[in-house]
Amino acid sequence: MQGRLPQMQPTVVLLREGTDTSQGTPQLLSNISACLAVAQTVATTLGPRGMDKLIVDERGQATISNDGATILKLLDVVHPAARTLVDIARAQDAEVGDGTTSVTLLAAEILKEVRPYIEEGVGVHVIIKGLRMARDLAIKKIKEIAVTVDKSDPQKFRELLLQCASTSMSSKLIHSQTPFFASMVVDAVLSLDQDDLDESLIGVKKVPGGGMQDSLLIKGVAFKKTFSYAGFEQQPKSFKDPKVLCLNVELELKAEKDNAEIRVNEVSEYQAIVDAEWQIIYRKLEAIVATGAKVVLSKLPIGDLATQYFADRDIFCAGRVTSDDLKRVVQAVGGSIQSTTSDIEPHHIGTCGKFEEKQIGGERFNLFEDCPQAKTCTLILRGGAEQFIAEVERSLHDSIMIVKRAIQNNHVVAGGGACEMEISTYLRNYSRTIVGKQQFIVGAVAKALEVIPRQICDNAGLDATDVLNKLRMRHDAMGDTWAGVDVESEGVQDNMKRFVWEPSLVKTNALSSAVDAACLILSVDETVRNPQSEAQEAGPPMPRGAAQRALRGRGRGMPRR
């Protein structure tokens, strides 16, 4: 049977017709190009002279920001590989609060530096192994050179926190008012419970109008005047040492008749029901007055009857207080939120040194100050346009997170590219001591780290080549660990002495995330895109006849018009 033709194998159709599959080295290079395009978008926002981006969404709402995570979130990146950079920027923002642009640039630059080796056919797993080796070496080096600040001296530790906050603001819209806002941020974070430092207890309220210097830090709680009923203006608006009662109770007449059905035969019976409803709400109000509370707050509405009742007895009340504000009030004044007006004990009620209703800009605010156990505070931000105030809020959030991390990890490094250049020098020297392909990969990471000082120079209009040559000389030949870019003098300075400080956690987290993202993108060798998946989620197509009947409104079970 030697002359017999080989039997043909049947063709197996695995994927739906129209499925787009891309694989191999060209696909990998395409993914790297997409990541580089994303990084170029945010590159100009880095450093003290970084520019802002104006992003307009589909509803026409404009956002002005130079925060990397905010920009990437608003860009709506559709390329599946490039979305990885968006994810690491968000993770950096959530974990540390700052360094979102840096982590995106580092990841893209690492991919750019290893791209020639991929084109030459070096195995991807060899490259990934080299990247992880470089990451471990770099993080170890950062921990070695980081300066530990003594927490025992409160004044010196406060100065450290001020420098860290100031450094994080240097590239923001509010850099012209850095001393004012840095002091505000440090005071805000230090007012929290130092065990958990829950930044959600720092309330931020935005009031358009005025200048940035009109912004306030309330060491307590402030929230806008809630919706009020008749009788509200008769209530006193200022108290000294008042008792504060927080409720989750609706004090309105309509609350008693919900979910109830009553059948009556005579008018007198109906009148008895109405009287009973009034008695129920009056019992609630009398129970509240009996506690001695002078300020009554509730998550639920407080109606006009209750508002007038409290006004007649010189009690201030506010209903429809948001849950976040009420939570912070409880943190400040003590006590707890009650879901009933019966059996209220003295320890359920809080107190504060001063309560007042105050006009701030075009809004009226309820302020709780001089609280005995205040573990919360409120920032009231002022400014011209709403977009401007929103960017101030984002800038302060970054600074708050930086100060929080500096308190939890009191190790700092110098900013302005100094830390990156020192690690780059260390990795470059280390790569010369090893053999094999890993030498080139570690060297590629060393070169990629130079993107941070280079981009700072480019954004400030400096000669990046000249400044980088000076930095290499200072770090390699002179052993100047903290030499970094100085935008003010347009040269190189010791940034540790200039108090350009950042928590070391920012650098270690950024480097680790960037290398992990690069390894993830390099490990993808095929992309399968099914364009019909959206149609499948919408359900099977309707038969043509049924569709026409549905459009005419004459399908089965539908009335003929």
Q: Give yes or no on whether 20-148+414-523 and 154-216+388-409 have one common fold.
A: no
d(CA 350, CA 338): 12
Pairing of strands 354-360, 238-240: antiparallel
Pick the CATH number of 154-216+388-409 from 3.40.140.10, 3.30.450.20, 3.30.260.10, 3.40.50.300: 3.30.260.10
CB burial string 285-302: b at 16+ within 10 A, e below:
beebeebebbbbbbbbbb
66 CB neighbour count, 10 Å cutoff: 22
Question: 20-148+414-523 has which CATH code?
Answer: 1.10.560.10
Residue 129 has what pLDDT? Answer: 92
Q: Is 462 left (phi over 0), alpha (psi -120 to 50) or beta?
A: beta
What lies within 8 Å, CB to CB, of 434 at 6+ separation is 442
- Tokens standing for 484? 């970094």
How far from each other are the two terminal CA atoms of the chain, in whole angstroms? Answer: 77
Domain 220-373 fold is GroEL (3.50.7)
SS3 170: coil
- Tokens standing for 29? 């290079």
Which residue, among 453, 452, 448, 456, has the nearest Cα to 518 in the 3D structure?
448
What lies within 8 Å, CB to CB, of 319 at 6+ separation is 226, 227, 251, 297, 298, 300, 301, 302, 303
What lies within 8 Å, CB to CB, of 460 at 6+ separation is 47, 48, 49, 485, 487, 490
Pairing of strands 377-383, 363-369: unpaired
User: Would the pTM count as exceeding 0.95?
Assistant: no
Residue 128 has what pLDDT? Answer: 92
- Tokens standing for 98? 């700052």
Tokens 């290079």 identify what position?
Answer: 29
> pLDDT by residue for the chain (561 residues), tens digit each?
455 655 655 655 555 655 555 667 888 888 888 889 888 888 888 878 888 888 888 888 888 888 888 888 888 888 888 888 888 888 888 888 778 888 999 999 999 999 999 888 888 889 999 999 999 999 999 999 888 877 777 888 888 888 888 888 877 777 788 888 888 888 888 888 777 777 888 888 888 888 888 888 888 888 888 887 878 888 888 888 888 999 888 888 765 555 667 777 777 777 887 788 888 888 888 888 888 888 999 998 888 888 888 898 888 988 898 888 888 888 888 888 888 888 888 888 888 888 888 888 888 888 888 877 777 888 888 887 787 888 888 888 888 888 888 888 878 888 888 899 999 999 999 999 988 888 999 999 999 999 999 998 998 888 888 989 988 898 888 888 888 888 888 888 888 888 788 888 888 989 999 999 999 888 887 776 666 554 444 445 545 444 444 444 444 444 443
Which residue, among 399, 459, 463, 485, has the nearest Cα to 51 in the 3D structure?
459
Residue 383 has what pLDDT? Answer: 81
d(CA 111, CA 38): 12
Sequence letter at residue 203: G
Domain assignments of the chain as residue spans, ordered by start:
20-148+414-523, 154-216+388-409, 220-373
What lies within 8 Å, CB to CB, of 390 at 6+ separation is 63, 206
Helix or strand run (H / E) with residue 117:
helix 100-119
What are the Cα distances from residue 370, in Å, to 241, 294, 313?
9, 16, 25
Residue 281 has what pLDDT? Answer: 86
CB of 130 within 8 A of CB of 438? yes
- Tokens standing for 490? 């347009």
- Proportion of the chain in helix, strand, coil states, percent, rounded to 5: 50, 15, 35
